[in-house]
Chain A
Amino acid sequence: MTAPVGGDLAIETRGLRKTYRSVRGRAVGVEGLDLQVPVGGVHGFLGPNGSGKTTTIRMLLGLVRPDRGTATIFGHPVPRRLPEVVGRVGAIVESPKFFPAFSARRNLSLLADAIGTPRSRVDVVLDEVGLTGRARDRYRTYSLGMKQRLAIAATLLKDPDLLIFDEPTNGLDPAGIREIRRTMRSLGDQGKTVLVSSHVLAEVEQIADTVSIVARGRLVASGRVADLLGSGAGSRAVRVRVAPDDVTIATSVLETGGLLVRREHGALLVEGLDDAGAVNRALGERGVWAHELTPLQPDLESVFLGLTQHETPGAPTRGRRRRRGGPPDPPAAREQPSDLATEVGA
């Protein structure tokens, strides 16, 4: 993806750096992050534990001061001019946090009063997240999922143009996850910008238009989901099904050809090749005929792991920076595991 011009960016950071001082010295939270989030649509913000996602979000919201670097939201430098844009930004940072002894309604009505939103809006957003029935109970008594819903309701109080969700589906039940996913997708479709950090890559793959992947506080990849999947950053594979009697010979034929072969549910998973036709040819030459030959598109998980698996927490920071660019490959006939097969946007 070529860098969009400045006006089209909802969020842009340049060289953003944050270290935390502690008794044991300095811990790097974010190490020179260049993040670009285009206006409109859902942007996945991915990275292993401790890679600096939450820290970045805190810096964008003015909760934490960067040591160095700049950040803008809708072109306004933050945190300096955050007050001008904060009304357009709804955010949940990490776990939801409200006054434990107050009810959901009181918590939200205090927030609504603080920004001058009519209190009637409180009931509307509570209804939107399905909390009306428990609105008068103390926040303390809520389940994790209900707390998460309340946090989402709070972000909707402002009717924001940019929503920042840090692991919003954490603790939700499957129906809840699906609902939040729908909400995020529909917000994206309405032209709002949604920045979502998540460890559930299948989820991000379904709803995100673009993603940024960070590791050790740096950007390692970013772009359209489809481009990343077609980029070869993850490995490509072909699923081959042959007659049961031919499995052994087919395996040895392919392995002799330098391919990596795994057995999976009675089929062979062949990795390390560019062209599915090569498999067919090699097998045919030995008189083995495939019943099925399916090129498998790598999923976001394999791309993610390919880019970040050497980035274990605590390892010294290396200058590992890879940014993908160039035109997208035409998406290949893409087969997805059936549990991921819904709600693919964009």
Chain B
Amino acid sequence: MMRLLRVELRRLWARRVTRWACVGILVLAALSTVVAYGTARPPSPQEVAAAEGAYAAELEVWEAEGAEQVADCEASAEAEGATPQEWGCTDMEPRLDWYLPPSQTFVADAGQDPAVFGSESVNTDDPATAAAVQEVRGSVWNGWAGLSSLDDLAMLLLMGALVVGVSFVTAEVNSGSLGMWLTFEPRRQRVYWSKATAAAIGTAPLVVAGFALLVASSYAAFASFGTLGDVTGAVWAEVAAFTGRLVLAGAALAAIGVALGVLFKHAAAAVGVVAVVAWASLAFGYAFGELQRWLPTTALTAWLQGGSVFTVENCTPAADGVFECVPVDHVVTTAQGGLLLLAATVVLTGAAMLVFRWRDVS
């Protein structure tokens, strides 16, 4: 078993797909560094001067017509039965930062304004849920900062692990070399385990190195402009914990890739199925209502980011036949996301192993 695992690892690392994955990671890191440099750069004196000019002009207009605009806004809001806050009437005075080019810090400031940074109010009556929602929204992965944008790139690393896992077995099926392999080791269960384990273990260094490279290059970009923000020990601890969860997720996705590769035999089919599922659950997730907690994308996000929040509109017919909708927040915890990911891995692996065990190989 160990012998087979070693051979499969050797094969995995000799494969071109794996080498291309390394190249892909380098390209990804390079691109993210370029983006990081763009957002880390504080505004130049010219930009500040231009922004101040534009701001001054707008302020003049505001001073002349602001009160009238607010009154209009409030009147319209009232006509529609909304509060002035919902229509943004309270937030109409121009601010200098609207006219400055966007610039981030590596980690968001603790005192970030939630209204500006997209974390809406909490919609729940349950205090425990409310606390959980606050915690998820306050995590370093949810702000508007250099570090917070890296979790999406980490998803790309996971997709890479999946593709490497898929092609690790489909290449063998399609070239027919699986038949030759089985004449050397006919114990199919062992063969399957060695392949799945090799994919899970073998892609881990790629995922770790890839993410470390992303974090390091982003950090370097922000550090070079002195716009790191408040990088505390707690931030690094969370980065380390995230990396740990990322590695486990990568192993799970590589194993899922092997399972799908065995089940579908063709790399395009297996990857296509994953792409369709991911796209559908991202694009139509809201349509699932409370079932969203079972979507693979929700599980993955929850596992990686330390929880995930989704909002469902709870609609009830009111007396006059109009539906009244109340948004309600739901939280998927890290553990729930992880368990779902684990369950998916176990179920798919079991199915693939059964198929692999009994399938005719030509």
A interface residue numbers (CB < 8 A to B)? 20, 58, 61-65, 79, 82-83, 86, 89-91, 93-102, 106-107, 110-111, 113-116, 151, 154, 158
Contacts and interface: CB of A to CB of B under 8 A. Distances in A.
18 contacts: A58-B362, A62-B186, A63-B360, A63-B361, A82-B186, A86-B184, A90-B183, A91-B183, A97-B177, A98-B177, A98-B180, A99-B172, A99-B175, A99-B177, A113-B3, A113-B7, A114-B3, A151-B180
Interface size bracket, B side: 20 to 34
Given A64-B360, A97-B176, A113-B7, 12 more contacts: A61-B186, A63-B362, A64-B361, A86-B184, A94-B362, A97-B179, A97-B180, A110-B7, A111-B181, A115-B185, A151-B180, A158-B184
B128 to A, nearest CB: 54
A79 B362 contact: no
Q: Is the interface of B mostly helix, strand, loop or mixed?
A: helix
Contact of B184 (A64, A65, A101, A111): A111
- Nearest first, the 8 closest Cβ-Cβ pairs linking A and B are A97-B176, A64-B360, A113-B7, A63-B361, A62-B186, A82-B186, A114-B7, A97-B177
A96 B183 CA distance: 12
B362 A100 contact: no
A97 B177 CA distance: 5
Contacts of B182: 61-63
A65 B179 CA distance: 13
A86 B361 contact: no
A97 B171 CA distance: 12
B95 interface: no
B288 to A, nearest CB: 35
A101 B187 contact: no
A93 B14 CA distance: 26
Contacts of B181: 111, 114
A86 B172 contact: no
Given A101-B16, A102-B14, A113-B10, A63 B179 contact: yes
B98 interface: no
Contacts of B362: 58, 63-64, 94
Contacts of A102: 14
B356 to A, nearest CB: 12
Contacts of B7: 110, 113-114
A58 B179 CA distance: 9
Nearest to B178: A97
A65 B360 contact: yes
Contacts of A96: 180
A149 B156 CA distance: 42
Contacts of A82: 186
A63 B184 CA distance: 11
B4 interface: yes
A97 B183 contact: no
Given A86-B184, A89-B183, A113-B7, A100 B175 contact: yes
Nearest to A87: B184
B236 interface: no
Contacts of B14: 102, 106
Given A65-B358, A113-B3, A101 B185 contact: no
B183 A110 contact: no
A143 B31 CA distance: 42
A106 B175 CA distance: 16
A115 B186 contact: no
A83 B186 contact: yes
A151 B3 CA distance: 22
Interface string B115-139: 0000000000000000000000000
Contacts of B3: 113-114, 116
Contacts of B11: 99, 110
Contact of A111 (B172, B179, B180): B180
Given A62-B186, A63-B183, A113 B6 contact: yes
Contacts of A62: 182, 186
Q: Which of B177, B180, B361 has the most CB of A within 10 A?
A: B180
Contacts of A97: 175-177, 179-180
Contacts of B361: 58, 63-64
Contacts of B176: 95, 97
A91 B358 CA distance: 21
B226 to A, nearest CB: 48
B184 A115 contact: yes
Interface in B156-196: 171-172, 175-177, 179-187
Nearest to B6: A113
Nearest to B182: A63
Contacts of A83: 186-187
A106 B177 CA distance: 13
